[in-house]
Structure 1
Amino acid sequence: MTNMATDPTSLPIFNGGRGDDATPRGALQAPRRAGAHALAGQINPTTHRVPATRQLAPVPGPGPSEGQVVLDLPAAATGTPRASLDGIDWKKVAELRAQASNQLSAALGQEQVDQEIERELGRAIIQELIATENADAMHGGWAGWTQDEQFALAQAVFDALFGLGRLQPLVDDDSVENIIIAGYDNVWLEKTDGALVQIDPIADSDEQLTDDLAFIASRSEVNARPFSSANPRLHMRLDGGSRLAAAAWVTARPSVVIRRHRLRRVSLEDLVGRDMISPLQASFLRAAVQARKSIVVAGPQGGGKTTLVRALCQAINPWEKIGTFETEFELHLHELPDVHQIVHAWEARPGSGEVGADGKQAGEFSLDEALYDSFRFSLDRQIVGEVRGREIWAMIKAMESGAGSISTTHAASAEGAVRKLVTCAMEAGSHITRDLATSKLAETVDIIVQVHLQTEPQRDGTWKRSRWVSEIVHVAPGEKVKGYSTTNVFLPNPSGGPGVPGTLPDELRALEAYGFDLNGYLMADGQTEKAR
């Protein structure tokens, strides 16, 4: 049980404790977690800096010398801008982070403390370290850091200890949608306006980048993941909800993509306003959700599939009980209680160590197990997030068990999505034949929504990306040769942009009872025929 009453001043660091000096300065070692709490929890938003208004308990050490600034690190967001990180000595940041990590571990020992107390202690340690470094420099005849420089350095050390280090300002930047890294010095940002721009390195070497990622991966309280030459791939949810995917040792250089989920509260109307879907498509999709059709959203990587699923989920009745099943939380429906009143959110967990007799690593928790457990939760809908491989059977089981499920997958076209899912099903088990996989999908999937991603060069040498729903296809069982049939309810628009009406199967006319603008669709379909 967390000790909520612990006073930071009672911990060893305030009684002269200095941590373990055995660890070399600059080592990238995560602190020992006290009851899995050390360095856990959501970091303070680094897009903000709090003025020096919150005084910490005094820390033993030399008093401030002439010209030395006593720092108060951020305690909460106030809307003031963060200190500039320009000109930061990142080797010094790594050195101070290691020292602070060691001292924090030594101070906490086996004590279980509240996250805020832990962070208060971390702030105090960083304050003392920077004050001591500054005093030593000035006593040695060197110019000390200015107040702004001390604030910037303190913020950088705090980010490195509790956050993502040099990546943290990028993750906190609301204008950034994706952070793409192909080596420490090949870093790109995909902005919310679609622009793709290159920025300065975020580490001093590939080795430092992988060390930093391993530190981040090992530190989370509930989402810790191994990342090493023995575990060369990393998929995890970061504090704050962003998704990180990384690979090293099996790639030419460390490769990282961080996806910021900036549109959590989004509706189909919002996507109409962003020209991702047309009003007629929004009418059809809203009615399909209300009619409890099972939907797969397909498209390329970074195409906006998860954003579209969130918008589709906003069309679910607020009283419905929802279960979500994801390898890493990305939908975040459970964080919107005013939209979805009852959400049970499951997240898979990778195992570690040796493989047991059941073929699983110790501690592993799969989506299959989560779905199995969920049948005792009286759910109205079971939503399996991204399907990349064996998750396909969790998706099929969810769609078989109750109508109205929603999932995503990667595919170049709507019909290609069916073929992709068949392949995933066959790869998930040696006993699965193509006929079985095809029949299962044809019987469970009702609609496939295809998202198109287009990248165009700009005059200034940058690139701009645009996204829209190009196809909406109805799936049904078909002849034995193919096993399924598809009907293009919305076809790709030759002029670009959201798809245009195609052919509406008779069974989908019933969607009019759920709000589908059938007359508008038929009129637009006639205009499309004339245009052809």
Structure 2
Amino acid sequence: MTDATTDSPDLLALETGQDGMRVSRGRTDPAALPGSVDDAGSPAEQLRLRLREQLSSQLSYRMKADEDAGRPPLGPEERRATAQAILAEAAEAYTQEQLSHGGSIVEPEVEERVIASLLDEVFGLAGLEPLLRNPEIENININGDRVFVRYADGRRDRLPPVVRSDAELIQLIRDLAARSGVEERRFDRGSPAVNFQLPGGERVFAVMAVTARPAVAIRRHRFQRVTLARLREGGTLEAGLESFLAAMVRARKNVLITGGTVMGKTTLLRALAAEIPPWERMVTIEDVFELGLDADSRAHPDAVALQAREANIEGQGAVSQAELVRWALRMSPDRVIVGEVRGPEVIPMCNAMSQGNDGSMGTLHASTSRGAFTKLAAYAVQGPERMSLEDTNLLVASALDFVVHLARPRDDEHKRVVSSVREVVDADGRQVVSNEVFRPGPDRRAVPGVPLRTETMDDLLAAGFDPDLLVRAEGWWLP
């Protein structure tokens, strides 16, 4: 990697690149990077590399053995203790090997320092730690030694590398993936993509072997516990929509949240879930744990989180989101929540919504609220049922009550706002009939559109909605 230095080794100097992006240049010599204890090629560094390799392989092996034996996964403290024992054994074996071959050995205090740094690296977040400690950073993208971040206010910076080589970046992702969630997730040439959640709730996606250099994308949700009121304060929605959406949840309407990438769909889903009474039982289904509704035992004491599982190295044991939705229906849920609909799970999800689990919710990538119906039909075709467009539309119309769409306003491209709300009415052959009860205004913020159906309005009134918020001549959107 290319070193970049400044006059002050402890501070980052900001430069402006040719494209106008702020570029942070800092000290990137080996001693300044995570996991380093000495110069490359020194006895201490050779010991570190050997121990790093041994820890990765043996810790993964022991976790796999526990899984095969049906034992519960180790907790954080147990994993660290196991890792410390592995490192101590590996260090002793390395010292014996060096003595037998006349090689250089390290002093005991240096060996202890190497082991401590590896434990901090593996059970901490290494060079990612300072970035994830910054509450203003929303996205972290790493392409080899190039690190880019995007802040909540839309600013973008280029920062120094978080590791010293592509190999160390791959190893860091392997270690983080190995201790994510409830099981190990592979990251190697046989499985060149990995998707997992960090302990703080950040979502990580990484690829290798299919790119010139390993690439990592980290998406963080700054608000793990959020309410509709907090979103109103942040400008995502207005007082009228806050009342409308809250009543929609309390009236047990089935809701699909749509929007583009990094548009705040998961955050809005969390806010809607905050309106669910605490005595109701929820089951959440996700590709990777991200919602975290089960973590708040006060707001959701009876919540079960299910995560899809990848196949093991023998190609066995995979569990899809579609299968998890079917399992969820056997768990006596009041509501089923699908973190992100991205495939054939759309059919069991719609079945869940139309078979008594009213008030269920999910998210979907779509560019418009109307476009959600086309995406749902495209995903339904991928399922084993191979449903026709007409049958899919009938199922969607019987399952969904509302589609809530998020977009960026024209006056501030760094914000997200509720832009459209559609009430699903019926299906007519190759079309899903819907009314856009809130439509995009001149600035893309939602304004009242087609009136609600009488039956729907009655349900929302019973759930506490004030219809006067929709008929004021002006100012209805103000707090």
Which category of TM-score, normalised to the shorter sequence, fits these structures? 0.7 to 0.9
Aligned AA for 2:80? R
Using structure 1 for the length normalisation, give the TM-score: 0.69
- Residue 174 of structure 1 pairs with residue 123 of structure 2: no
Displacement of 1:414? 0.4
Displacement of 1:175? 2.2
Q: In the alignment, what sits opposite 2:456?
A: 508
What is the RMSD computed on CA atoms of the aligned residues? 3.6
Displacement of 1:102? 3.7
Displacement of 1:387? 0.8
377-386 vs 298-307, greater mean Cα deviation: 377-386
SS of 2:408's partner is strand
SS of 1:352's partner is coil
Q: Would the aligned equivalents of 1:449 and 1:473 in 2 still touch at CA under 8 Å?
A: yes
Aligned AA for 1:512? L
Q: Would the aligned equivalents of 2:240 and 2:476 in 1 still touch at CA under 8 Å?
A: no
- Residue 266 of structure 1 pairs with residue 213 of structure 2: no
Over 3 Å counting, the alpha-carbon distance change for 1:347 and 1:198 in structure 2 is: same
Q: In the alignment, what sits opposite 1:518?
A: 467
> Residues 224-260 of structure 1: CA distance to partner in whole angstroms, max 9, x if unpaired?
1111222121111222322111222223443321122
SS of 1:353's partner is coil
Over 3 Å counting, the alpha-carbon distance change for 1:107 and 1:380 in structure 2 is: closer
Aligned counterpart for 2:80 among listed residues 103, 119, 124: 119
Q: How far apart in 2 are the matches of 1:313 and 1:97?
A: 46
Q: Would the aligned equivalents of 1:502 and 1:525 in 2 still touch at CA under 8 Å?
A: no
- Give the 5 Å matches for 1:342-381: 342-354=302-314, 361-381=315-335
- Residue 223 of structure 1 pairs with residue 183 of structure 2: yes
Displacement of 1:330? 1.1
Q: Would the aligned equivalents of 1:157 and 1:165 in 2 still touch at CA under 8 Å?
A: no
Displacement of 1:280? 0.6
Aligned AA for 2:268? L
Q: Would the aligned equivalents of 2:323 and 2:345 in 1 still touch at CA under 8 Å?
A: no
Q: Would the aligned equivalents of 1:97 and 1:157 in 2 still touch at CA under 8 Å?
A: no
271-280 vs 384-393, greater mean Cα deviation: 384-393
Displacement of 1:155? 7.6
Using structure 2 for the length normalisation, give the TM-score: 0.76
Aligned counterpart for 2:51 among listed residues 99, 105, 118: 99
Aligned AA for 1:413? T
Q: In the alignment, what sits opposite 1:53?
A: none
- Give the 5 Å matches for 1:214-293: 214-220=174-180, 222-293=182-253
Displacement of 1:217? 2.4
Over 3 Å counting, the alpha-carbon distance change for 1:155 and 1:447 in structure 2 is: farther
SS of 1:449's partner is strand
Over 3 Å counting, the alpha-carbon distance change for 1:98 and 1:378 in structure 2 is: same
SS of 1:281's partner is helix
Over 3 Å counting, the alpha-carbon distance change for 1:103 and 1:471 in structure 2 is: closer
Q: Would the aligned equivalents of 1:384 and 1:394 in 2 still touch at CA under 8 Å?
A: no
Q: Would the aligned equivalents of 1:501 and 1:524 in 2 still touch at CA under 8 Å?
A: no
Aligned AA for 1:409? L
SS of 1:466's partner is coil
Over 3 Å counting, the alpha-carbon distance change for 1:253 and 1:454 in structure 2 is: farther
Q: Would the aligned equivalents of 1:85 and 1:156 in 2 still touch at CA under 8 Å?
A: no
Q: How far apart in 2 are the matches of 1:216 and 1:503?
A: 49
> Residues 283-310 of structure 1: CA distance to partner in whole angstroms, max 9, x if unpaired?
1111111111110000111110000000
Over 3 Å counting, the alpha-carbon distance change for 1:229 and 1:515 in structure 2 is: same
SS of 1:316's partner is coil
- Residue 466 of structure 1 pairs with residue 415 of structure 2: yes
Aligned counterpart for 2:362 among listed residues 394, 407, 423: 407
Q: In the alignment, what sits opposite 2:299?
A: 339
Aligned AA for 1:501? P
Which consecutive unaligned segments of at least 5 residues does structure 1 have?
1-83, 130-143, 145-149, 355-360, 458-463
- Percent pairwise identity: 33
Q: In the alignment, what sits opposite 1:448?
A: 403
Q: How many residues align?
A: 413
499-508 vs 203-212, greater mean Cα deviation: 203-212
Q: In the alignment, what sits opposite 2:154?
A: 194
SS of 1:465's partner is coil
Over 3 Å counting, the alpha-carbon distance change for 1:259 and 1:379 in structure 2 is: same
Aligned AA for 1:302? V
Over 3 Å counting, the alpha-carbon distance change for 1:390 and 1:163 in structure 2 is: farther
Over 3 Å counting, the alpha-carbon distance change for 1:337 and 1:109 in structure 2 is: closer
Q: How far apart in 2 are the matches of 1:341 and 1:115?
A: 23
Displacement of 1:170? 1.8
Q: How far apart in 2 are the matches of 1:379 and 1:114?
A: 28
Displacement of 1:214? 2.7
Displacement of 1:208? 3.5
Over 3 Å counting, the alpha-carbon distance change for 1:103 and 1:261 in structure 2 is: closer
- Residue 488 of structure 1 pairs with residue 443 of structure 2: no
Q: How far apart in 1 are the matches of 2:234 and 2:283?
A: 28
Q: Would the aligned equivalents of 1:178 and 1:189 in 2 still touch at CA under 8 Å?
A: yes
Q: Would the aligned equivalents of 1:236 and 1:328 in 2 still touch at CA under 8 Å?
A: yes
Aligned AA for 2:405? Q
Displacement of 1:206? 3.4
Q: How far apart in 2 are the matches of 1:316 and 1:107?
A: 40
Over 3 Å counting, the alpha-carbon distance change for 1:376 and 1:429 in structure 2 is: closer
Q: In the alignment, what sits opposite 1:357?
A: none
283-292 vs 255-264, greater mean Cα deviation: 255-264
Q: Would the aligned equivalents of 1:393 and 1:425 in 2 still touch at CA under 8 Å?
A: yes
Q: Would the aligned equivalents of 2:239 and 2:476 in 1 still touch at CA under 8 Å?
A: no
Q: In the alignment, what sits opposite 2:32?
A: 88
Aligned counterpart for 1:475 among listed residues 417, 424, 437: 424
Displacement of 1:347? 1.2
Q: How far apart in 1 are the matches of 2:307 and 2:394?
A: 28
Aligned counterpart for 1:416 among listed residues 355, 371, 375: 371
Displacement of 1:490? 1.0
Q: How far apart in 2 are the matches of 1:89 and 1:468?
A: 39
Q: How far apart in 1 are the matches of 2:221 and 2:121?
A: 22
Q: In the alignment, what sits opposite 1:438?
A: 393
158-167 vs 467-476, greater mean Cα deviation: 158-167
Displacement of 1:85? 9.6
SS of 2:77's partner is helix
210-219 vs 396-405, greater mean Cα deviation: 210-219
Over 3 Å counting, the alpha-carbon distance change for 1:169 and 1:393 in structure 2 is: farther
Q: How far apart in 2 are the matches of 1:278 and 1:505?
A: 18
299-308 vs 498-507, greater mean Cα deviation: 498-507
Aligned counterpart for 2:123 among listed residues 140, 157, 162: 162
SS of 2:343's partner is coil
